[in-house]
């Protein structure tokens, strides 16, 4: 009999398992994949750490979380600065003085502000003081027509498979808009990539904990639940409840990875393709996360991944929860059941049905540990 069964060896499950083990609890972790680390899994391909489930950049303003994760790896000074490609034009992201200067030829913040005001005037007027009701209204009132048409609309509609007018405004609020020449994609205080990849972090967290891979909870549900006093579940909450209120929607992705015999393919870790007619959203060149063309870990080959958004159906990986009103309301029904459980705790991106970044997941897991162990 284990004290805890943890379903899912992603960050949430691993942090919880680590903390429970540290407190002398016996823990069994199961995951249906053949490896630990969930979506932050990285694999070393001839000297390059490949982010197998999409680019993962660690960023946070939470000092406790930043201190916590550094117990398990050293982080480099990587700052995410994606480049956006629209037809033959290249723009710096997030939306900052470099972008505005490339878009309109403006040189000073005052010139950029004047241009932004002109670009967003119609959208602001039609809002007439109310909050933007969807992503299109949000984007147009934030950065105006040109930036929306070239850098947001095509990318967002292929990423989410829906019109911007049918998407929640909050998605685009993640992106900073700045009147300084600063291409840092995030506003957070701390940022970096773990030297040597993410998998080692989760392996260290799970050191001393029993882990069974290739185990689907739903195929051995009764035996597994009976084997522990309590269950921490980080899979899909709707699947846990047999979809009794209906299915939550997710967005999936397909990754196409190539190992190229050239040293440097695109000169940046992340290049976004913002045109609607290009079927992928971005190309990741993994070596640049760890400065693979600039010194120590240089290699003469490079690994690139194209990320294709995909409609989610049963059996696909549910990468992104679709946190719109309909799905949030459905999740709220499942949450009522979850809150009434005495033996099961739900956590993580799928268990809590929330568009969490890694630092959010760690903070949630630590809060859960706090509740459980005081
Ligand atoms: P997961 O990592 O999904 O782990 C859940 C685990 O549970 C999985 O391993 C799964 O196999 C297992 N599981 C599910 N159901 C079952 C079952 N029935 N039986 C057994 N096992 C099961 N965050 C950032 O901070 N920065 C980024 O740059 C960033 N980029 C991202 C890019 C992409 C493409 C994606 C998809 C996410 C990104 N994230 C990023 C978010 C980050 O991946 C998540 O916040 C984090 O990995 C979530 O951890 P988790 O433990 O909740 O879930
Ligand atoms: N986005 C965009 N153009 C870009 C990059 C992002 O319009 O070049 C929008 C898009 O709607 C996306 C959102 O901003 O879903 C958040 O982007 P982020 O890079 O944070 O997404 P994630 O890393 O979670 O996929």
How many A from CA of 252 to the centre of ligand 1? 12
- For ligand 2, atom 14, the nearest C-alpha belongs to 172
| Residue range(s) occupied by CATH 3.40.50.720 in the chain | 2-80+189-246+323-373
Does residue 294 surpass a pLDDT of 90? no
Per-residue pLDDT, 295: 65
- For ligand 1, atom 40, the nearest C-alpha belongs to 357
Counting Cα atoms < 13 Å in the Cβ hemisphere of 92 gives: 18
Residues 87-100: pLDDT tens digits?
A: 999 999 999 999 99
Does residue 173 surpass a pLDDT of 90? no
C-beta of 111 in contact with ligand 1 (< 6 A)? no
The pick from 98, 150, 155 for probing ligand 2's pocket by mutation, whose C-beta has the most ligand atoms within 8 angstroms, reads: 155
| CA distances for 31 relative to 6, 132, 216, angstroms | 9, 40, 6
Radius of gyration of the chain (CA): 22
Catalytic annotation, pick one of 91, 155, 240, 251: 251
Does residue 315 surpass a pLDDT of 70? yes
178 as an active site residue: the answer is yes
Catalytic annotation, pick one of 23, 174, 212, 221: 174
Confidence of residue 257 (pLDDT cuts 50, 70, 90): very high
221 as an active site residue: the answer is no
Between CA 370 and CA 346 the distance in angstroms is: 15
Which numbered atom of ligand 2 lies nearest the CA of 160?
Answer: 15
Provide the 10 A C-beta neighbour count for residue 147.
24
Write out the chain in H/E/C secondary structure.
CEEEEEECCCHHHHHHHHHHHHCCCCEEEEECCCCCCHHHCEEEECCEEEECCCCCCEEECCHHHHHHHCCCCCECCCCCCCEEEECCEEEECCECHHHHHHHHCCCCHHHHHHHHHHHHHHHHHHHCCCCCCCHHHHHHHHHHHHHHHHHHHHHHHHHHCCCHHHCCCHHHHCCCECCCCCCCCCCCCEEECECCCCHHHHHHHCCCCEEEECCCHHHCHHHHHHCEEEEEECCCHHHHCCCCCCCCCEEEEEEEEEEECCCCCCCCCEEEECCCCCCCCEEEEHHHHHCCCCCCCCCCCEEEEEEEEEECCCCCCCCEECCCHHHHHHHHHHHHHHHCCCCEEECHHHHCCCCCCHHHHHHHHHHHHHHHHC
The pick from 53, 102, 142, 174 for probing ligand 2's pocket by mutation, whose C-beta has the most ligand atoms within 8 angstroms, reads: 174
Confidence of residue 299 (pLDDT cuts 50, 70, 90): confident
| 24-28, 168-172, 262-266, 359-363: segment of lowest average pLDDT | 168-172
Per-residue pLDDT, 174: 77
Do residues 311 and 252 make contact, with C-beta atoms less than 8 angstroms apart? Answer: yes
Checking 137-143 for CB contacts under 8 A at 24+ apart, the result is 137/165, 137/169, 138/169, 138/172, 138/173, 139/164, 139/172, 142/172, 142/177, 143/95, 143/116, 143/119, 143/177
Pick from 285, 368, 76: nearest CA to 198:
76
Catalytic annotation, pick one of 86, 282, 334, 353: 282
On average, the pLDDT of the chain sits at 96
The pick from 39, 40, 201, 241 for probing ligand 1's pocket by mutation, whose C-beta has the most ligand atoms within 8 angstroms, reads: 39
Per-residue pLDDT, 215: 98
How many A from CA of 104 to the centre of ligand 1? 39
Per-residue pLDDT, 293: 79
C-beta of 309 in contact with ligand 1 (< 6 A)? no
Catalytic annotation, pick one of 188, 216, 355, 372: 355
Pick from 250, 248, 252: nearest CA to 309:
252
- For ligand 1, atom 21, the nearest C-alpha belongs to 31
C-beta of 3 in contact with ligand 1 (< 6 A)? no
**CATH for the stretch 2-80+189-246+323-373:** 3.40.50.720
251 as an active site residue: the answer is yes
Catalytic annotation, pick one of 33, 178, 185, 273: 178
Per-residue pLDDT, 297: 63
Ligand nearest to the CA of 177: 2
How many A from CA of 344 to the centre of ligand 2? 33
Per-residue pLDDT, 176: 86
Q: What angle do CA 283, 287, 288 make, to 5 degrees?
A: 75
């Amino acid at each position: 009999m284990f004290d805890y069964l943890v379903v899912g060896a992603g960050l949430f499950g691993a942090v919880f398992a680590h903390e429970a083990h540290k407190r002398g609890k016996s823990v069994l972790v199961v995951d249906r994949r053949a490896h630990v680390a969930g979506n932050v899994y990285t694999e070393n391909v001839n000297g390059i750490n490949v982010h197998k489930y999409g680019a993962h950049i660690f960023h946070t303003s939470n000092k406790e979380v930043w201190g916590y994760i550094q117990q398990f790896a050293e982080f480099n000074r990587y700052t995410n600065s994606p480049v956006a490609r629209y037809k033959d034009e290249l723009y710096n992201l997030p939306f900052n003085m470099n972008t505005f200067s490339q878009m309109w030829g403006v040189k000073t913040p005052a010139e950029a502000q004047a241009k932004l005001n002109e670009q967003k005037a119609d959208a602001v007027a039609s809002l007439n003081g109310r909050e933007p009701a969807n992503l299109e209204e949000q984007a147009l009132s934030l950065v105006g027509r040109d930036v929306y048409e070239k850098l947001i609309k095509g990318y967002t509609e292929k990423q989410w498979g829906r019109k911007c007018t049918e998407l929640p405004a909050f998605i685009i609020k993640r992106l900073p808009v700045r009147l300084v020449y600063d291409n840092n994609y995030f506003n957070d205080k701390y940022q970096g990539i773990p030297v040597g990849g993410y998998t080692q972090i989760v392996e260290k967290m799970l050191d001393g904990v029993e882990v069974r891979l290739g185990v689907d909870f739903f195929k051995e549900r009764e035996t597994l639940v009976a084997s522990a006093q309590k269950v921490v579940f980080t899979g899909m909450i709707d699947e846990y409840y047999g979809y009794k209120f209906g299915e939550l929607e997710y967005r999936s992705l397909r990754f196409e990875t190539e190992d190229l015999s050239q040293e440097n393919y695109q000169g940046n870790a992340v290049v976004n393709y913002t045109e609607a007619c290009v079927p992928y959203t971005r190309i990741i060149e993994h070596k640049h996360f760890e400065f693979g063309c600039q010194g120590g870990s240089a290699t003469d080959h490079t690994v690139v991944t194209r990320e294709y958004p995909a409609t989610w159906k049963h059996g696909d990986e549910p990468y992104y929860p679709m946190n719109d009103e309909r799905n949030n309301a459905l999740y709220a029904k499942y949450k009522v059941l979850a809150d009434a459980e005495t033996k099961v705790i739900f956590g993580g991106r799928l268990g809590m049905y929330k568009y969490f970044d890694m630092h959010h997941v760690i903070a949630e897991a630590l809060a859960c540990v706090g509740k459980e162990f005081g």
